[in-house]
Every structure is written in structure tokens, then in C-alpha cells.
Structure 1
Amino acid sequence: MAPGGLFWWIGAGVLVVLELISGTFYLLMIAFGCVAAALAHIAGAGADLQFTVAAVVALAAVVLLRRSRFGRRKREQASRNPDVNLDIGQTLNVPAWHERRARATYRGAAWDVELAPGEPEDAQVYEIRELRGSCLIVVASRPRKTANATAV
């Protein structure tokens, strides 16, 4: 294999390793461009055509990735994102409401609790949906559906 082709394979390998470290698919798309250029080199294309192939394939792959579901990340506010705030989705008991506000004990401390719009005040258990400063925004906890295991 000629040194020019080796350049493209090494470039693709380095980009794949960097992609594994960073966790982004974009470097992998550029690595596809390097592989395409290496294949163009094997087919006998000149250096200028190899760079063109690398650029076109990488650009097309990035555009396709960007338009796919993997390229669009749904950005959620940190106050509502359970990946950022582990309290989101947890449950607590609220003993009494006063104008849709209350004080409740959660994780061993007293918290201000506010009922989300449209939620009933008569539920036994509430689920935390959002955290605004030191105020928990809650909704009535609904029973989760679980698969019933039946013995045969």
C-alpha cells in the first residue's frame, strides 16, 4: 500500500479512537470521509480527488447525522431534567395544602412545596416534577403500570 493510502487509514483510526473517548458521532462521520478517501486512493484517484471525496463524504455524513434522531438532542431545563437533578421523579407525602402551597419533609429537611397547575390536592403521594430554588413543584403520583406475572 502506498504511503498516501496509509495516511487515510491512520486518520480514520485516530478519529475512531477520539470518537470513543469523546462520545460524539461527528468524529465518526469524518472518519467515514477518511475511509472513502482511502478507497479512492486504492481506486487510483489523485490526491486532489482524494481530499474532495473525503470532504464530500464527511460533510454528507455529518448532515445526515444532524438530521437523524441521534443528531438532535432534546434540551430540557435543568430544573426539570432527571439526568441533572436526581430529585425529579421522587415521591413525597404532603400532609395539608394551603392555597396550593405547603411545607413537607423530604430527605430529612423541610421544603416548600407547590402544586403544579391542574393537579388535585387530595392525592396521598406526590411526585416531584421540577425544582425551583428550594421549592419542589409536584404532581399527583399516579400508580405505575407493572406487568402482572401469572403462574401457569
Structure 2
Amino acid sequence: MAPGGLFWWIGAGVLVALELISGTFYLLMIALGCVAAAIARIAGAGADVQFAVAAGVALAAVVALRRSRFGRRKRKEASRNPDVNLDIGQTLNVPVWSERRARVNYRGAAWDVELATGEPEDAQVYEITELRGSCLIVVASRHASAKAGAL
């Protein structure tokens, strides 16, 4: 194999290693383009054809990935995303409701609490599902033994 063909194999290896660090599949798709170009090199294609093959295969692989279920991530609104707001999923006690609203102490401060649509007012322990400004939107906790957090 000529030294020029080694370029594509090294490129594919580097991209696969970076893929392992990043956790996405996109670098792996570009690495597939490098492998296709290396195969084109072995077949005797010129440099311009190798680059065209690499670009074409990488582009097709990225488009195919993007259309697959692995390429489509469901994005949650920040107000409901526990990765953005650590209060989502926490529990708290709400002893008294007034027109589906309450005021409770949570994490050392007084918070407005609103009951989500269709949720009962008699659960006592509630789980935070959303934050709207300084208002906690809650649902009845599905865990009967859940402990209320940070009262």
C-alpha cells in the first residue's frame, strides 16, 4: 500500500477514537467516508476521486443517521428538563390547597405551587414536573413512600 493510502486509515482511526470520547455517531459516519476513500485508493482512484468518495459516503452516512431514530433526539423544554433544572423530579409536601394553588417552603424559601391539570389535591406528597418562573408545577407523587425533599 502506498503511503498516501495510509492517510485515510489513520484519519478513520483518529475519528473513531474521537467518537469514543464524544459519544455521538457523527464522527463514526465521517470515519466511514475515510474508509471508503481508502478502499478507492486501493482500487487505484486518483486523489480527487478519493476525496469525492470520502465526502459522498460521509454525507450519505450523516444524512442516513440524521433520519434514523438515533439522530433524532427529543428535546425537552428547559422548564421541564431535569438535566437543566435539578428541582424537576424532587418531592415536597403540600398540606393545603386553595383553588389548585399553594405556598410552601422548599429549599429554605417560600415558593408558589400550582397543581397540574387533572391531579388530585389530597396526595400530600407531590413531585415537581416543571418550573414557571418562581412557580413549581407539581403532580401527585407516584411513590407512596416518597419522602418530601427539603422542607
TM-score range, shorter chain: 0.7 to 0.9
Q: What TM-score, normalized to structure 2?
A: 0.86
Structure 1 counterpart of 2:124: 124
Alpha-carbon deviations, 1:73-127, whole Å to 9, x = none? Answer: 1111111001111111111110101111101122232211111112111112111
Q: Does 1:25 align with 2:9?
A: no
Larger RCO of the pair (alpha carbons < 8 Å, separation 6+): 2
Distance 2:22 2:126 in 1: 38
Shift of the alpha carbon at 1:43? 2.2
7-16 vs 86-95, which deviates more? 7-16
Q: What TM-score, normalized to structure 1?
A: 0.86
Structure 1 counterpart of 2:106: 106
Distance 1:14 1:143 in 2: 47
User: Any unmatched runs of 5+ in structure 1?
Assistant: 145-152
- The correspondence of residues 1-152 of structure 1 with structure 2, limited to 5 A, is 1-143=1-143
Structure 2 counterpart of 1:148: none
Distance 1:76 1:112 in 2: 23
Distance 1:143 1:81 in 2: 20
Work out the number of aligned pairs and report it: 144
User: Any unmatched runs of 5+ in structure 2?
Assistant: 145-151
